[in-house]
């Protein structure tokens, strides 16, 4: 069995509002294995980004907090660490690529300086050593004439180049885990493909693990070893990429796949849409949180929250359609069943 790098156990994270504490992630459990890519997919508002901010403990600065659960990285529970301890981990052992590269970079410093800063801070490199390594990192992520580009400012670079700079910043300290939050959202299709190819190449060369957050099942198909489908703050299905695409089991997952133009069974047909909208996290329906939008809804779905059922060899779905299956009792990723 592959080595487990990160294990999220029953994580509940949220925000205090006028109506009380609102859960943005509700009792989620995930595992990321060493050298593997886990894709977390779902619509906007599903809780994907909050999950990533919780892992980095940046949720504390966004007005949120971790209510319950563990985030175990290399045997240490990150949820129990203070911010001083987390500063030694962020950017060093765990790094993150944010959605918008232009907002992630400081406009008043050259891109070379921004990469070098991480090396000076975490690796104790001298100014000249850090600058030399910054140029090498720009070269590694495919930026032409890196010696020249390193002296330029973010506004002088294209969106694709800025995203490559952000990746270089994230890789500066050779992290074991890279969290990529919608890394291609603001880019055109050609540049998207280049960035995804770059991440795959760097993963293989550096042996790092990736948590890739996306709403695009096509991206997940290309990048993932495992896929976890998230809806309204909860994981509703998880399995290997082969299991998810060959046998999508939760109605929400099926809807996401049918919404892909040209997906098997949809060619020549009107593009499928999932009816309704994702509910507000402060106003979740009773029972299964997907039941108001589900084409297979039963009376039981409206009143009872479904269990997590094993639907394949390494595949589970949180849905009453599989009540005759064995429920997962020790979490996901191959957990024992009764």
- Model pLDDT for residues 17-49, shown as the tens digit of each residue: 888 899 999 999 999 999 999 999 999 989 999
Please measure the distance between the N-terminal and C-terminal CA atoms of the chain and give it in whole angstroms: 21
**Beta partners for 37?**
210
pLDDT band at 2 (very low <50, low <70, confident <90, very high): confident
List, in sequence order, the alpha helices (H) in 58-188.
83-89, 101-104, 111-123, 127-140, 146-149, 159-171
**What pLDDT score does 15 carry?**
94
CA atoms within 13 A on the CB side of 69: 23
- pLDDT greater than 50 at residue 181: yes
pLDDT band at 268 (very low <50, low <70, confident <90, very high): low
d(CA 292, CA 285): 8
pLDDT band at 262 (very low <50, low <70, confident <90, very high): low
**What pLDDT score does 337 carry?**
40
As its CATH architecture, domain 4-109+163-229 has 3-Layer(aba) Sandwich (3.40)
- pLDDT greater than 60 at residue 336: no
Domain locations in the chain? 4-109+163-229, 245-322
Considering the entire predicted model, what is its pTM? 0.91
**What pLDDT score does 319 carry?**
97
- From residue 148, alpha-carbon distances to 1, 109, 152, 169 in Å are 46, 14, 7, 17
């Amino acid at each position: 069995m592959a080595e487990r790098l990160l294990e999220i156990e029953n994580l509940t994270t949220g925000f205090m509002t006028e109506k009380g504490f609102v859960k943005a992630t509700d009792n989620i459990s995930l595992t990321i294995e060493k050298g593997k890519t886990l894709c977390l997919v779902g619509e906007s508002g599903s809780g994907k980004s909050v999950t990533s901010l919780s892992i980095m403990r940046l949720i504390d600065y966004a007005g949120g907090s971790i209510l319950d659960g563990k985030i175990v990285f290399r045997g240490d529970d990150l949820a129990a660490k203070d911010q001083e301890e987390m500063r030694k981990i962020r950017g060093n052992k765990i790094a993150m690529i944010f959605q918008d590269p232009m907002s992630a970079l400081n406009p008043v410093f050259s891109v070379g300086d921004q990469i070098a800063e991480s090396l000076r801070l975490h690796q104790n490199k001298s100014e000249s050593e850090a600058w030399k390594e910054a140029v090498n990192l720009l070269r590694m992520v495919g930026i032409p004439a890196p010696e020249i580009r390193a002296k330029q400012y973010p506004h002088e670079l294209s969106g694709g180049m800025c995203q490559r700079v952000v990746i270089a910043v994230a890789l500066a300290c050779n992290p074991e885990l890279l969290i990529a939050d919608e890394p291609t959202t603001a880019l055109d299709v050609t540049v998207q493909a280049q960035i995804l190819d770059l991440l795959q190449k760097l993963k293989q060369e550096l042996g790092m693990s990736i948590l890739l957050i996306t709403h695009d099942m096509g991206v997940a198909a290309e990048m993932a070893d495992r896929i976890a489908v998230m809806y309204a703050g909860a994981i509703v299905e998880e399995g290997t990429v082969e299991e998810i695409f060959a046998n999508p089991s939760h109605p929400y997952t099926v809807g996401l796949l049918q919404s892909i133009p040209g997906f098997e069974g949809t060619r020549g047909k009107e593009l499928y849409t999932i009816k309704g909208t994702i509910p507000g996290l402060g106003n979740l329906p009773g029972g299964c949180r997907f039941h108001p939008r589900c084409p297979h809804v039963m009376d039981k779905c409206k009143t009872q929250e479904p269990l997590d059922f094993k639907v394949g060899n390494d595949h589970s779905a949180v849905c009453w359609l599989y009540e005759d299956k064995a429920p997962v009792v020790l979490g996901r990723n191959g957990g024992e069943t009764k």
